[in-house]
Amino acid sequence: MKVKPINLFGHIILLVGGLVMIYPLIFMVLASTFTKQEYAATVLGPFPIAIKPTFANFRIIVGAAKDHLVQIYFFNSLFRTLYSVVFASLTAFLGGFVFARLRFRGKDGLFLFMLATAMIPGVVALIPTYIEYARWPYAGGNNIFMGGKGILDSWWVYMIGGPALNIMGAFLVKQSMEKVPIELDEAAKIDGASTFRLIFQILLPLQLPILAFIAITTAQATWNDWGTPFFFTSSDKLQTLPAAITRISSIATSAGVPDYPLMITLGLGITFPMLLIFFFFQRFFVQGLANAGLKG
Amino acid sequence: MANEWDVSGNAAASRTFDGPTGWRKFYNNHRDVIIAAIILGPMLFWWMVVSGFPTAFGFLLGFFKWGEITASPKFVWFDNYIHFFRDPQYYMALWRSIWIGLLVTGLNMLIGFLIALLMNLSLFGKAIYRTMWYVPVVTSVVATTQIFNIFLDINNGVIDNLIKRLGYEPILWQYSVGWGVFWIVVYSLWKGVGGMALLWLAGLQAVDPILYEAAEIDGANRLQKFWNVTLPGIKPIATYAIITGLIGAVQIYEQVMFITLGGPYGQTEVLVFRILRDGFFDFNMGMAGASSVVLFAVVFIFTVFYFRMFASDNEKSDPRRGRRKRQ
């Protein structure tokens, strides 16, 4: 079998570069088998091998810890992610439907406005959002605007904020839905389908690839989002996995030597589910990107 | 809620000779607006709460001096903005955001494009390569910056240990501005290049194969095909990638926050990190607001530039584009 030189070159670059890309993960897997004492005593090389490998760190994450906080973090992350995925897909799909299929005055203006505001840096709204949450009317001990902590440090922070509302997703769905011929709607109309049925039984199945793309990217964004818990919550019961890493590191440091292997294992625990999701749904990524109306 | 079409069985049977009346007539005449209002109403309200109102608030904040969250804000006109452009801490942070952003975007696009070209070859096992390169994108920032910190640690850092083993002096990464920026850029590239490559790949695969065949019939060689077919074909995605990349890159702060913490002496501080510090740790709400408006102005310039390029490009290259007509 003869290999073309350009293909050989491609194999070498992609393999070597790809190994560099996943190297930090390899390091994480290796380091997670250390105990705290052995880790502190080892002069770390690029590929640290534990003399006495242990799965104690994994066991702590899966449920051996006394306070079960990691389980709480995990379920917070999971529920939050599910919630965001459901609502982001729903808002993206319905918004996309409105802007692709309905006609009303001011539609284009409204759409451009919403899209333009999606370009505003998130940090502009971050501090005002904090104040808004703290002054939320009649919540968390507020008499109208003042007095308590508002909805800060409560589940409402995750319900309202974060990636649960997806304007960019509406844009993607709009682009994708405009490729579906309008005659399909009319045929359904003539066959007696209600609007509800048209939206959910006829248009929805055709948008599943782009919705899968939106769902996966939202799942990633929410799962990895450390900002919302970091800025808007403080109690232990509300933390998610990424926010917990920063916490564990500060708690561990105050007790002396930081428990790096445990932190690394937790990091692996965060990364692994997203890797699996990407691995199984990667065709939607390329499809989604190609569908996003960016074709030449 | 009545949301049947006027031709559905029920409505047709009950319809009088003059057509539907009352609510049904109103509904039929304004169907689109009503459905749009039902769907968009709650969405717009939600959007106002999480985005519209805080953003407007943020813009106003720049005109106030607000030291403590309990004290009442004082209107100071443009004092915060004047302070922004007088204090090197601020304008240097803005400048750093821009040049680090340009550097990251440029390298990211270049490397991503070369990788996408290689991924576009029909190689054996390319799905595995694609996954490998995309892995950093799906990882969590807090988890992977921790690993970078372990690599750069002063006492037992992996890279310093390696340097020592090779017989050189270890480098104190945390005490050097140049190395701080270097590792911020390296981390950003590691995290971003896979996504960029996949974006380019989608663009490359969207180029119509017929164009390549036509070029081949005309006797074009590999380089000519690349220059005359591939490059024009991926221009829309290139514009998209450049501008969204720039907009994203001037806003990087997680790298700075978790790797260098702005140090040494605030010399690697970027503007977004400065805004966070002002807002959440120093309670200097006015300056945080003013700085974020300045950042928005920079992003806005990029965005206008993007819409100019992207819109004019679409008109030229795609004659089918235009307002879609019903019926």
Residue-wise pLDDT for A48-82, tens only, equals: 777 777 777 777 777 656 667 778 888 888 899 99
Yes or no, beta carbons of A290 and B118 under 8 Å apart: no
Residues B103 and B52 in one domain: no
Contact present, A69 and A236 (Cβ < 8 Å): yes
Residue A245 has pLDDT above 50, yes or no: yes
pLDDT score, position A251: 53
**Number of domains, chain B:** 2
Asked if residue A180 belongs to a domain, the reply is yes
Yes or no, beta carbons of B121 and A289 under 8 Å apart: no
Interface list for B 87-126 with A (CB within 8 A)? 115, 118-119, 121, 123-124, 126
Residues B44 and B193 in one domain: no
Asked if residue A283 belongs to a domain, the reply is yes
Count of other CB atoms within 10 angstroms of residue A173 = 29
**Could you tell me if the ipTM is greater than 0.85?**
no
Yes or no, beta carbons of B135 and A21 under 8 Å apart: yes
pLDDT score, position A163: 79
Task: Tell me how far apart the alpha carbons of residues A246 and A120 are, in angstroms, rounded to a whole number.
Answer: 28
Yes or no, beta carbons of B43 and A224 under 8 Å apart: no
Interface list for B 283-312 with A (CB within 8 A)? 285, 288-289, 292-293, 295-296, 299-300, 303
Asked if residue A42 belongs to a domain, the reply is no
Q: What phi, psi does A143 have (nearest 5°)?
A: -95, 105
Asked if residue A162 belongs to a domain, the reply is yes
pLDDT score, position A86: 92
pLDDT score, position B4: 47
Q: For A4-58, what is each residue's pLDDT tens digit?
A: 788 888 888 888 888 888 888 888 888 888 877 777 777 777 777 777 777 777 7
Asked if residue B265 belongs to a domain, the reply is yes
CATH number at residue B303: 1.10.3720.10
Identify the closest residue of chain A to B284 by CA–CA distance.
Answer: A127
Q: β-strands B74-75, B64-65: how paired? A: antiparallel
Which residues are paired to B64 by β-bridges?
B75
Count of other CB atoms within 10 angstroms of residue B222 = 8
Q: For B273-311, what is each residue's pLDDT tens digit?
A: 888 888 877 878 888 888 888 888 888 887 787 777 665
- Alpha carbon A75 to its chain centroid, in Å, reads 15
Share of chain A above pLDDT 70, in %: 87
Identify the closest residue of chain B to A249 by CA–CA distance.
Answer: B146
CB-based contacts of B128, cutoff 8 Å, min separation 6: A18
Contact present, B119 and A286 (Cβ < 8 Å): no
Task: Tell me how far apart the alpha carbons of residues A74 and B79 are, in angstroms, rounded to a whole number.
Answer: 46
Residues B175 and B55 in one domain: no
Domain that holds residue B35: 9-61
Yes or no, beta carbons of A17 and B115 under 8 Å apart: yes
Measured between beta carbons, the chain A residues lying within 8 angstroms of B115 are 13-14, 17
Contact present, B206 and A294 (Cβ < 8 Å): yes
Asked if residue B322 belongs to a domain, the reply is no
Measured between beta carbons, the chain A residues lying within 8 angstroms of B32 are 102-104
Q: Long-range contacts made by residues B1-7, C-beta under 8 angstroms, separation at least 24?
A: B1/B38, B2/B27, B3/A194, B3/A195, B3/A196, B3/B27, B3/B35, B4/A194, B4/A195, B5/A189, B5/A192, B5/A193, B5/A194, B5/A195, B7/A189, B7/A190, B7/A192
Asked if residue A48 belongs to a domain, the reply is no
| Tokens linked to A206 | 């055709």
Residues B55 and B178 in one domain: no
Residues B36 and B146 in one domain: no
pLDDT score, position B107: 92
CATH number at residue A180: 1.10.3720.10
Which of A54-58, B158-162, B225-229 shows the lowest per-residue confidence on average (mean pLDDT)?
A54-58
Q: Chain-wide mean pLDDT for chain A?
A: 80
Task: Tell me how far apart the alpha carbons of residues B269 and B322 are, in angstroms, rounded to a whole number.
Answer: 45
Residue B172 carries which side chain, given as an amino acid letter?
L
Residues B112 and B14 in one domain: no
Identify the closest residue of chain A to B121 by CA–CA distance.
Answer: A7
Domain that holds residue A91: 67-238+273-291
**What confidence tier does B8 reach under pLDDT thresholds 50, 70, 90?**
very low
**Number of domains, chain A:** 1
